[in-house]
Chain A
């Protein structure tokens, strides 16, 4: 497949641009669906971790009484919230790794189909 793709790309650079193999893949329904699935995970996940993380310096700066609220012994909400950031990062990383394995699977299925077609 690789040889095919390369020759098509170089041919298209010279002439009046017939569609390249890459463009055909990019426009294929399967690829579009893969990208949609990825976006459906990545965009909310990114927004979530950014919001969750910046809540820490914002609360530490502007909500000191909340952060100082004692939960157990001398451990306060601020500490538990900071600690929860670690748990959040690890959990999201694992969730993504699991999702990404599915994306990989779809991508290699696509490739098999294309090999058959080419």
Chain B
């Protein structure tokens, strides 16, 4: 398996060619900042929904959750639930107000009421921290997976992924990113549906038979909670970070600016929820199929993390071609997610920090887009360097950390800006900083980093850092008045609730 896989590599080249054609097509349509950051707000809701799903479902979900279900049964399935339910927070509380009051980034919403320079600076900082940790997790995961799947050396895998994401974003901006994500979502769903049907056909399409077989091979404990997660509080803490953090993830939020209005933003969320939910339901078939048809031992023999469960299942069911196809799909998955992260990180630096803080909003259109492209290029180069440097590091905690920062630093201030009249600039700055620092601190003194002797006895900091983020934002607001924020509240509140001023 670790040898060079020619067939998979061939399919991988086909996918790369498709994405480069998309980029060429998108580059001819990307001239202004609105086109670069938000695809000119012209993406229909349903397409954006597919792109959100493509942006969100990482290789970690595809290969990781299938593997987790194959090895730990019920706990793996339970883990996947929070990733869908999180979209209810996005749909009910965040997507429409964000679309109605902002332009390209989450900081736009805060700046609509609060003192622009401080809130944009801190929001850009938290966006860059989130994107960096998420990106490192993706890059290191990608390097390892591509090595396993295609037989390409780790460093080369990182360089290829990094170069492609730079090409997509620098030349094709949000339009190319969107279509790479749509392509990936279609491939991923197609592959998952085919594998699920093949698995079910082995049990005469009787799900009960599949459960019976799993129970007879691995005992009923396999179908009950507790094989993997032993600390319920830690699970609740993770659940909080997922359910509140998704609605604070810059690369997801940015997608809502690509649609023309709040109604399309809503439609995109519902579309994304159908795709993401169906995908996670089907991972049960992949995980159980792998446990029964491949066997836990065979899965563990190839990769201790269980990441190869789905590709091995594909090989067992459809031979080398099917396995090569699934490997290529996993590769496309990685590309789509890192492209989304690259454009989110660039927008935080170029739009929030450079254009609006350093230049006071006075940079010309051409300067803005030039800086945005240079930033995307630099982000890509840094991601390659960090990815190579982090080879072999434990990055498992980094995805959870990204969600913890998003839920503790970003979500409280987004909600309070839109819904609370007394919210102030001080509250926003203090809230974001406390949320950010406490999420980082409790992760680094927690079990994910320090192991069994950790000072904080959990892996996930959310249960502590989220309330701290909210409290700091509220207390920071109560200690002083912010005349402008209070005067502007009516405007933001009306716009958030009606779409006046944005809607065409």
Q: Which residues of A contact B (CB under 8 A)?
A: 1-2, 5, 9, 12-13, 17, 20, 22-23, 25-27, 31, 34-35, 38, 42, 45-46, 49-50, 53-54, 56-58, 60-62, 64, 67-68, 72-76, 78-79, 82-83, 85-86, 88-90, 92-94, 96-97, 100-101, 103-104, 107, 110-111
Chain B 180-208, CB-CB to A under 8 Å as 1, else 0, gives 00000000000000000000000000011
Contact B273 A25 (CB under 8 A): no
- Asked if B316 lies at the interface with its beta carbon under 8 angstroms from chain A, I say no
Bound Cα distance from A77 to B224, whole angstroms: 9
- Which residues of chain A are within 8 angstroms of B89 by Cβ–Cβ distance? 46
Partner of B491, one of A22, A56, A107: A22
Bound Cα distance from A13 to B231, whole angstroms: 54
Could you write out 22 A-B pairs with CB less than 8 Å apart? A1-B500, A34-B497, A46-B88, A57-B232, A61-B236, A68-B220, A68-B223, A68-B224, A73-B208, A73-B209, A74-B212, A82-B78, A82-B81, A83-B281, A86-B280, A86-B281, A89-B84, A89-B88, A89-B273, A96-B91, A97-B270, A104-B262
- Asked if B117 lies at the interface with its beta carbon under 8 angstroms from chain A, I say no
**Contact-residue size bin, chain B (C-beta under 8 Å from the other chain):** 35 or more
Contact B223 A62 (CB under 8 A): no
Bound Cα distance from A88 to B87, whole angstroms: 12
Contact B494 A60 (CB under 8 A): no
Contact B224 A76 (CB under 8 A): yes
Contact B85 A79 (CB under 8 A): no
Main secondary structure of the interface of A (DSSP, over half): helix
- Which residues of chain A are within 8 angstroms of B235 by Cβ–Cβ distance? 57, 60-61
Contact A53 B81 (CB under 8 A): yes
Assuming the contacts A53-B239, A85-B85, asked whether A35 and B281 have C-beta atoms less than 8 A apart, the reply is no
Partner of A57, one of B77, B214, B223, B239: B239
- Say how far A11's CB is from chain B's closest CB, in angstroms: 13
Contact A54 B274 (CB under 8 A): no
Total CB contacts across the A-B interface at under 8 A: 166
- Say how far A37's CB is from chain B's closest CB, in angstroms: 10
- Say how far B290's CB is from chain A's closest CB, in angstroms: 17
Assuming the contacts A64-B224, A64-B225, asked whether A49 and B88 have C-beta atoms less than 8 A apart, the reply is yes
Bound Cα distance from A45 to B267, whole angstroms: 18
- Asked if B444 lies at the interface with its beta carbon under 8 angstroms from chain A, I say no
Contact B490 A26 (CB under 8 A): yes
- Say how far B87's CB is from chain A's closest CB, in angstroms: 7
Bound Cα distance from A1 to B224, whole angstroms: 59
- Asked if B501 lies at the interface with its beta carbon under 8 angstroms from chain A, I say yes
Contact A22 B494 (CB under 8 A): yes
- Which residues of chain B are within 8 angstroms of A90 by Cβ–Cβ distance? 273-274, 277
Bound Cα distance from A60 to B141, whole angstroms: 29
Contact B215 A74 (CB under 8 A): yes
Partner of A104, one of B211, B263, B495: B263
Which of B220, B281, B491, B499 has the most chain A CB atoms inside 10 A of its CB?
B491
Bound Cα distance from A1 to B236, whole angstroms: 47
Bound Cα distance from A75 to B77, whole angstroms: 13
- Which residues of chain B are within 8 angstroms of A27 by Cβ–Cβ distance? 490
Contact B491 A53 (CB under 8 A): no
Contact B88 A92 (CB under 8 A): yes
- Which residues of chain A are within 8 angstroms of B170 by Cβ–Cβ distance? none
Contact B497 A107 (CB under 8 A): yes
- Which residues of chain A are within 8 angstroms of B46 by Cβ–Cβ distance? none
- Which residues of chain B are within 8 angstroms of A1 by Cβ–Cβ distance? 500
Contact A74 B281 (CB under 8 A): no
Bound Cα distance from A35 to B498, whole angstroms: 10
Which of B84, B229, B231, B500 has the most chain A CB atoms inside 10 A of its CB?
B500
- Asked if B226 lies at the interface with its beta carbon under 8 angstroms from chain A, I say yes
Bound Cα distance from A72 to B212, whole angstroms: 10
Assuming the contacts A49-B85, A68-B220, A74-B208, asked whether A58 and B236 have C-beta atoms less than 8 A apart, the reply is yes
Contact A76 B223 (CB under 8 A): yes
- Which residues of chain A are within 8 angstroms of B445 by Cβ–Cβ distance? none
Residues of B97-142 contacting chain A, CB below 8 A: none
- Which residues of chain B are within 8 angstroms of A5 by Cβ–Cβ distance? 500-501
